[in-house]
Amino acid sequence: MELIKIENLEKKYKTGVTAIYDFDLKVKKGDFIFVIGASGSGKSTLIKMLYREEKPNKGSIVIGNINVANLKNRKVYKLRRKLGIVFQDFKLLPRLTVYENVAFALEILGLTNKEIRNKTIKALELVGLKNKVKSYPDQLSGGEQQRVAIARAIVNGPKLLLCDEPTGNLDPDTSWEIMKVLEEINNLGTTVIMATHDKEMVNRMQKRVIVIEEGRLKKDYEKGTYENESA
């Protein structure tokens, strides 16, 4: 079954730069997809359109039963509540503790304190940070901070996890730990789409790889490696 269906997508920025052209993509439920391409190829634009931070000029994006491309700005939160997003720069709130940072995503839904507590602890357990609930982000290493961000992204049990270069700021070993966490989340049934530059990791994971070049979908490998594109 398809979770995401992208058809005839086009994005042109106001500066006149066209970031994405005639782009079609189907993503099955439970997929793990790497999106690779050089800087400026349109990877980030694609991810941003998936969580509706950017609005496409043409074409459609349907995630589950939400038509993302037509979503009004004030309705965007309905989409965001159904997916998790992880960034290169973590985007944690420095004045909140680890627990508060994760619980934050549930509090806005109006859940009871008990529900929030159970889900938050479970998510932090999954990323292996149950013993750091009372720490503040600046007391954690980069890898730990990213794991908090992942816990926050998945705490609400989303069907889709979007990752925009989540290991871009981390060393190879830490990146691999993060990768393992993401793989585990994927194994639990969440679809993961991850934009990355990390060749070694893509090669080791042997997952579906889509290659974007100058805004176009250039290749789509079922079990791809980065090497194919190094030429």
Partner 1 sequence: MKVLRMLGRSIRDAFKGVFRNFSLSIASISCITITLLIVGISMVLSYNAENVATLIKKDFSVVVFVENDATSEEVKNIKEQIENMDNVDSYIYETKQEVAEDMKESSAIFKVIIDSWDEDENPFTDTLSIKVKDLNKISETADELSNLNKVEFVKYGEGIVEQILVILDTVGNFLVGIVIALVLVTVFLVSNTIKLTIFSRRKEIEIMRLVGASNFNIKLPFIIEGLFLGVLGSILPIVLTIYGYNSLFNYMSLNEISPFLKLVNPSPFIYLISLILLGIGTIVGMFGSAGSVRKYLKI
Stretch that binds partner 1, among 6-14, 76-84, 178-186, 211-219 (CB under 8 A): 76-84
Stretch that binds partner 1, among 79-87, 137-145, 166-174, 193-201 (CB under 8 A): 79-87
Contact flag: residue 140 with partner 1 (CB under 8 A): no
Inter-residue contact 20 to 10 (CB < 8 Å)? yes
Contact flag: residue 136 with partner 1 (CB under 8 A): no
Nearer to partner 1, 38 or 93 (CB): 93
Least Cβ distance, residue 122 to partner 1 (angstroms)? 17
Q: Is 200 helix (H, G, I), strand (E, B) or coil?
A: helix
Residues in 156-175 that interact with partner 1 by CB under 8 A: 156
Q: Helices (DSSP H) in 113-220: which residue ranges?
A: 113-126, 142-154, 172-187, 199-205
Both tokens of 37, joined, read 């391409």
Instruction: Specify the DSSP class assigned to residue 145.
Output: H
Whole-number Cα distances in Å, 34 to 100, 106, 194: 30, 28, 5
Nearer to partner 1, 54 or 177 (CB): 54
Q: Can you tell me which residue has the tokens 């100058």?
A: 214
Contact flag: residue 112 with partner 1 (CB under 8 A): yes
Q: Is 34 helix (H, G, I), strand (E, B) or coil?
A: strand
Contact flag: residue 107 with partner 1 (CB under 8 A): yes
| Binding footprint of partner 1 on the chain (CB under 8 A) | 51, 73-74, 76-78, 80-81, 85, 91-93, 95, 104-105, 107-112, 152, 156
